[in-house]
């Protein structure tokens, strides 16, 4: 009996590690999908064909800061620009992106994830630059069967290199109400927060030769798409299209950021001249109490840490792991 239980445990662990590897390999596929707009909503069809119909510009948060970048009309802005929804059906998912690029930012978004049986679906919320050697800071929310917890998948890319995954089971129902997901990105560190509580800190390890996302401006992206070939239990649980459309909702976007200008190739912040005054977030790091609180949360809810994975990294953990 003990041998049988051990065998089942090893098999489950193997499948989970395969899930992580597949998730990493599909990141580039997701980026290609999300960065290929097939329809940007500017006017309705009636407005495009009849100049007598006025174009009403609503100055809401989502109108000001984002464009619906792909998915035809599956992405929608409601409530005078203060609510945005993305939907997924069998034909396509949808996504949006920020109008501006940032070179360091503190961003927050309240998100209500796909309710019910969300197996096979992935909701993303991330910063990314462009190009083969891109930088990226990822929140990905992997759906699951009804009653099972969502998985938060986090990853960090620098110069095109990822493989820095940490995953957590959410300790609440992220579909019952809105919860706040935040990314702090400054020259010293990257911190992921859920409802104001840090769940991960990634420190700048340039001093030991590890590239850090520091020089490439990034846009904020979010999307809802189908990944049932890997997202839920290694692809064994497929998306139930009878439940479509699947919908994720967004509100209360706030940010502090260094806005990057392509025209001048410069940022709105002078990061070389601290102190930063009202931009104190540019030098923020977790203090001892916050880091201790994060470690307790990780002990309870973290289900994968690349720094502890001897199976994927038999030569030992990445150099930056000693600083985390």
Q: Residue 143 has which token pair?
A: 């759906």
Residue 69 CB neighbour total at 10 angstroms? 23
| More confident call, 51 vs 252 | 252
**175 in Cβ contact with 182 (< 8 Å):** no
Per residue in 278-309, pLDDT tens? 688 999 999 999 999 999 999 999 999 999 99
Per residue in 142-190, pLDDT tens? 998 877 889 999 999 999 999 999 999 999 999 999 999 999 999 999 9
Q: How far apart are CA 154 and CA 139, in angstroms?
A: 5
Q: Residue 144 has which token pair?
A: 């699951």
**222 in Cβ contact with 95 (< 8 Å):** yes
Active site residues: 136, 140
Residue 179 CB neighbour total at 10 angstroms? 17
What the chain holds in terms of domains, given with CATH numbers, is 57-322 (2.60.120.200)
Residue 82 CB partners (closer than 8 Å, separation 6+): 60, 61, 62, 251, 252
Per residue in 223-266, pLDDT tens? 999 977 755 666 667 889 999 999 999 999 999 999 999 999 98
- Assign 141 a pLDDT band (cuts: 50, 70, 90): very high
Residue 72 CB partners (closer than 8 Å, separation 6+): 38, 39, 92, 94
pTM for the whole structure? 0.83
Q: How far is CA 42 from CA 67, 99, 228, in A?
A: 9, 13, 31
- As a whole-number percent, the residues of the chain with pLDDT over 70 amount to 77
Q: Does 136 score more than 90 pLDDT? A: yes
Q: Does 11 score more than 80 pLDDT? A: no
């Amino acid at each position: 009996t003990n041998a049988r239980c051990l065998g089942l445990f090893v098999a489950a662990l193997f499948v989970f590690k395969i899930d992580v590897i597949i998730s990493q390999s599909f990141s580039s596929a997701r980026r290609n999908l999300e960065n290929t707009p097939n329809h940007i909503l500017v006017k309705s069809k009636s407005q495009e064909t009849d100049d007598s119909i006025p174009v009403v510009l609503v100055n809401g948060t989502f109108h000001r800061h984002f464009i619906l970048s792909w998915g035809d009309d599956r992405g929608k802005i409601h409530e005078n620009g203060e609510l945005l929804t993305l939907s997924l059906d069998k034909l396509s998912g949808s996504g949006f992106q920020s109008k501006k690029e940032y070179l360091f930012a503190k961003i927050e978004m309240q998100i209500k994830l796909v309710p019910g049986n969300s197996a096979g679906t992935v909701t993303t919320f991330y910063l990314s630059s462009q190009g083969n050697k891109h930088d990226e800071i990822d929140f990905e929310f992997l759906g699951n069967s009804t009653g099972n917890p969502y998985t938060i998948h986090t990853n960090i890319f620098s110069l095109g290199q990822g493989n820095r995954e940490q995953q957590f089971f959410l300790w609440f129902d992220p579909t019952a109400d809105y919860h706040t997901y935040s990314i702090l990105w400054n020259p010293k560190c990257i911190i992921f927060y859920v409802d104001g509580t840090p769940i991960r800190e990634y420190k700048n390890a340039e001093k030991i030769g590890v590239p850090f996302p520091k020089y490439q401006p990034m846009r904020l992206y979010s999307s809802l798409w189908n990944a049932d070939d890997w997202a839920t239990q290694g692809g064994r649980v497929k998306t139930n299209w009878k439940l479509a459309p699947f919908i994720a909702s967004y509100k209360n976007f706030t940010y502090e950021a260094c806005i990057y200008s392509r025209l001048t190739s410069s940022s709105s912040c002078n990061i070389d001249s601290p102190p930063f005054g009202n931009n104190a977030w540019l030098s923020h790091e977790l203090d001892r109490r916050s880091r201790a609180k994060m470690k307790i949360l990780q002990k309870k809810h973290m289900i994968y840490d690349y720094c502890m994975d001897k199976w994927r990294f038999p030569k030992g953990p990445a150099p930056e792991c000693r600083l985390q």
